[in-house]
Amino acid sequence: MFSTQTYINRRNELKKLVGNGVIVLFGNNESPCNYPSNAYYPFRQDSTFLYYFGQQRDGLVGVIDVDNDKEILFGDDIDIDDIVWYGSVDSVADMASQVGVANSLPLKELSTLITPDTTRKIHFLPPYRHDNMIQIMDLMGIHPSKQHEASSIDLIHAVVKMRSTKSDEEIAEIERAIEIGYKMHTTAMRLTRPGVTEKFVGGQVDGIAHSYGAQVSFATIFSQHGEIMHGNPSMNVLESGRLALCDAGAETINHYCSDHTRTYPVNGKFTQRQLDIYRIVEECHDYVLDVAKPGVKYRDVHFAVCRLMTERLKELGLMRGDVDEAVKAGAHAMFLPHGLGHMMGMDVHDMEGLDQINVGFDNDTQPNRDQFGTNALRMGRALEPGFVVTDEPGIYFIPVLIDDWRKRGHCKEFINFDLLETYKDFGGIRVEDDLLITNNGCRFLGKDRIPYHPKDIEDFMNS
Ligand code: GLY
Ligand code: MN
C-alpha cells in the first residue's frame, strides 16, 4: 500500500474531475471455484478500487459523495468463525483510516444511501463480475444487461485520465514486478530443453512469481506453438528444433504488473531460418525505442513497425509489392495479427475493463474495427509522459490463416503463398518489453534486460 496521503490526493483529484454526484467503487468478492469456501486463489481486488481505496480485502465498497464531500468505506467486520478459520484482519474502520477515509459503515447500510429511487447521479464503472452486477441490480434496480450503458462515462474518463499517467511510486512498483518477471523468464530459459513438458516450465515460472510474494499478472503463456497468441502450457513435450515462446509477467503484492515475452530455441541454438525471422522481430522491437515519444500516436508507431516488418519480409521473399500499399491493405496482418502493445499498470492490459475505446483511443484517434489485425489494436492514441506501454511485435505462421487467405486470394498480390506454405511448421516469435514514455522519448523499464539478442540467448541457455 502507498502512503495515506496518496489515496487522499487521488480521491480529491477524482472528485474535481467528476464534479458532482455520488461515486460508488465496488471492490471484488471472493470467487468460488467449485464450492463456496474453495475460492480461486489468490483473491484479486478490483484495480480501480485499489487505486482509490488501497485495501485488498473482499466485500468492500468505497463511496465518494462528491456533492457533500463525504467518503465512506462500506464493509462488514469479520466474525469469530472467520477468525477461527482465517485469522484476524483489520476492522473496516481501521482500513478506512489507513487510507484517510473518515467514515465506515456495514455493507447493508449502502442500500439506505443508494436506492432505485435515488435522484442524484450515481457514478459507477462497468461491472465485470456477476456478484457485483447483482449488487448493482439490488441497489439501483438496473438489470445486468443494461448496466454497461448505465455506467458513468464521466467517471470512466476521470479514472482513465488518472490511471494512465504513472507516478514515480507506481513506476518503482512496476519495476519491482519487472525484477520478478526477469527471474521468471530466466528460469524458463534455463529449464527449456528437449524432453520436458510445457507445463513443467510454465509451472516453475508461476512458482517463481509466488515465491517472491507476487502472483502472475495473467495466465502464463509458454508454448512451442508460438503462433497461438495466448497458448497456455500443455502436457506436450518440448522438441529439439522448435522454438519456445514464453509470455509471462509478475504482479507485485501492491498489484502492479510486468509483461515480457521471449522466444528461444528449445535446444539452445537457433537455425538459420529461425534467425532470419527472429532478426526482423528484434529490429522491429528496437525500432520502437527510436520513435515512441510524447505526442506521437502509438497507432503510428504500430504502422511504422508494420512497414519495417513488411520491408524485411519482402527481402526474405515472403511478401512482395509496394510496402505502403501492402500495409494499407492489411497484408502484414498475416504475420502480425495483433497491435504493437497496450497500456500496462495495475492491470496487465491496463483498464481494459473500462473499454478499449476509452483507454487506447480518443477523439483524434479512432479504432479501425473493419480490418483484420488493425481491429486488434489496443493502444492508438498520442503518447504522454508517464504512460507505460508494451512493445511487443511478433511474426507468426498460423496454418489456418495461411489456408484461409490463400483460398480466398486475400492480399495475394502482397504475399508469396508458395513460400509461406513451407513455414507452416515454424511456430511464432514475439519479443516484448515494457516502455515508459519520458518527457522527451522513452525507455525500457527494469534494470536487467532478459536476454533477447540471439547470441545472448544462446550463451545464456548454454551456460
Ligand atoms: N501478455 C499477454 C498480452 O499482452 O496479451
Ligand atoms: Mn503484452
- 66, with CB counted inside 10 A (0-12, 13-18, 19+), is buried
| Tens digit of each residue's pLDDT (9 = 90 or more) over 321-363 | 999 999 999 999 999 999 999 999 999 999 999 999 999 999 9
Which residue out of 430, 432, 434 has the highest number of ligand 1 atoms within 8 Å of its CB and is therefore the one to mutate?
432
**In whole angstroms, how far apart are CA 292 and each of 97, 242, 339, 380, 443?**
41, 33, 15, 12, 9
Q: 431 CA to middle of ligand 1, Å?
A: 11
Mean pLDDT of 3-26: 98
DSSP of 400-445 = HHHHHHHHHTTTTTTB-HHHHHTTTT--EEE-BEEEEE-SSSEEE-
286's CB contacts (< 8 A; 6+ apart) are none
How confident is the model at residue 210, as a pLDDT? 97
Mean pLDDT of 113-141: 96
How confident is the model at residue 380, as a pLDDT? 97
How confident is the model at residue 163, as a pLDDT? 98
Grid cell 439490488 is found at 138
Q: Which pLDDT band holds residue 374 (cuts at 50, 70, 90)?
A: very high
How confident is the model at residue 332, as a pLDDT? 98
Give, using CA atoms, the residue closest to atom 2 of ligand 1: 247
**CA pair distance 55, 41, nearest whole angstrom:** 17
Nearest CA to 449 out of 182, 199, 269 is that of: 182
Q: Which pLDDT band holds residue 148 (cuts at 50, 70, 90)?
A: very high
% the chain with pLDDT above 90: 98
Say which ligand is closest to the CA of 390: 2
Which residue out of 205, 230, 389, 430 has the highest number of ligand 1 atoms within 8 Å of its CB and is therefore the one to mutate?
230
Say which ligand is closest to the CA of 230: 1
Contact between 49 and 354 under an 8 Å Cβ cutoff? The reply is: no
Instruction: Provide the grid cell at 387.
Output: 504512460
**Three-class HEC string of 168-184:** HHHHHHHHHHHHHHHHH
Q: Is 391 near ligand 1, meaning CB less than 6 Å away? A: no
Say which ligand is closest to the CA of 338: 1
**CA pair distance 419, 317, nearest whole angstrom:** 8
Grid cell 520502437 is found at 288
Q: 90 CA to middle of ligand 1, Å?
A: 35
| Tens digit of each residue's pLDDT (9 = 90 or more) over 56-93 | 999 999 999 999 999 999 999 999 999 998 899 999 99
Mean pLDDT of 14-25: 98
Q: Is 218 near ligand 1, meaning CB less than 6 Å away? A: yes
Contact between 186 and 204 under an 8 Å Cβ cutoff? The reply is: no
Angle, helices 168-191/454-461, rounded to nearest 10 degrees:
60
Q: What is the position in ligand 1's atom list of the atom closest to the CA of 261?
A: 1
Say which ligand is closest to the CA of 220: 1
**Three-class HEC string of 266-318:** CCCCCCHHHHHHHHHHHHHHHHHHHHCCCCCEHHHHHHHHHHHHHHHHHHCCC
**CA pair distance 310, 280, nearest whole angstrom:** 10
For residue 177, the one-letter residue type is A
Q: Which pLDDT band holds residue 213 (cuts at 50, 70, 90)?
A: very high
Q: Is 206 near ligand 1, meaning CB less than 6 Å away? A: no
Angle, helices 153-164/4-18, rounded to nearest 10 degrees:
140
| Tens digit of each residue's pLDDT (9 = 90 or more) over 299-327 | 999 999 999 999 999 999 999 999 999 99
According to DSSP, residue 370 is labeled S
How confident is the model at residue 268, as a pLDDT? 98
Q: Is 117 in a helix, a strand, or coil? A: coil
How confident is the model at residue 17, as a pLDDT? 98
Which residue out of 205, 218, 251 has the highest number of ligand 1 atoms within 8 Å of its CB and is therefore the one to mutate?
218
% the chain with pLDDT above 70: 100
Q: Is 98 in a helix, a strand, or coil? A: helix
| Tens digit of each residue's pLDDT (9 = 90 or more) over 268-301 | 999 999 999 999 999 999 999 999 999 999 999 9
DSSP of 231-272 = ----SPBP-TT-EEEEEE-EE-TT--B--EEEEEETTS---H
Contact between 76 and 61 under an 8 Å Cβ cutoff? The reply is: no
